[in-house]
Amino acid sequence: MDYTIIVSATASDAAPLQYLAPYSGCAMGEFFRREAYPGDVFYLHSRLLERAAKMSPAMGGGSLTALPVIETQAGDVSAYIPTNVISITDGQIFLETELFYKGIRPAINVGLSVSRVGSAAQTKAMKQVAGSMKLELAQYREVAAFAQFGSDLDAATQQLLNRGVRLTELLKQGQYVPMAIEDQVAVIYCGVRGHLDKMEPNKITKFEKEFLQHIKTNHQALLEQIAKDGQISADSDAKLKDIVSKFLSTFSA
C-alpha cells in the first residue's frame, strides 16, 4: 500500500462524486506513471535502444544504429535478457558454439535467427535466388537431427538432406572476405537451383572459388547487369544457367 492511492466513492456519496472518482484516480496515477520507471535492466534496454534513431532535418539529421550483443548461457535464447532485447530489436542473429566447432562459420543458427525487416532490405535479385533458402536450411537442420537415428528415408527427405549439406557448405565464408551482392547472387543461384546436388560437399568451397574467378574473368558484363538491374531478368537467368552448366562440365574437382 506504500505505492497506492485509493480514491473512494461509496454508495452513500453523491452521484457526481461517484462519476468523478475513476477520473480523479487516473489523473493522480498519471503523475507517477510519467515520473517513475522501474529501475531494472529491462527498462535500461528500452531506454538505450530507443536512442538508436534517425533524426529529422529539423533535429539536425543523422542516424544511429545499435547492434546489441548478448551472450547466452548454454545457448538458452529464452532467458530474461535475450528475450527482452529480442522483443525490442528488428531481429536477431543467433551464433551457435556447436556450429562454430563443426567448421560452419559464420556459425549462424538459421532456425533461431529472425529478421522482422524481412526481404524489404534485399535486392530483388537476392529475393529471387534466396527466397526459399532459409526455410530449406531450417528444415534440413531439423531433419538432420533425426536422420542419424535411422537409415530408412524417403526420396524427398534424402533430397532435403543432400541439398541442405551443400547449401551449408556454400554459405561458409572466410574472415575478412566480403562479397559483392552480384557475386552472392551468382553463387547462391548455383545452390538453390540444384546445380550442386550431385557434387561432393567437400568440393563446394573449391567450386565456389573457381566459379567466381571464371565468371568474373569471362562474364563480367553479366554480373554488372545483375548489379545494375537489381534483379535477374529472364535473359540473365538463361545466361547464368548456361554459364553454370558449361562450367560444371569442365570443373575438375
Separation of alpha carbons 253 and 246, rounded Å: 15
- Amino acid, res. 191: G
Beta bridge partners of 91: 115
Separation of alpha carbons 115 and 91, rounded Å: 4
Pure H helices in 36-110: 41-49, 80-88, 97-101
DSSP label of 89: S
Residue 103 grid coordinates:
567448421
- The region that residue 81 occupies, defined by phi over 0 for left and psi between -120 and 50 for alpha, beta otherwise, is alpha
Asked if 164 and 140 touch (Cβ cutoff 8 Å), the reply is yes
Determine whether 34 is an active site residue: no
Separation of alpha carbons 238 and 165, rounded Å: 26
Q: Looking at 33, 34, 47, 116, which residue is catalytic?
A: 116
Separation of alpha carbons 69 and 81, rounded Å: 11
Residues taking part in catalysis:
116
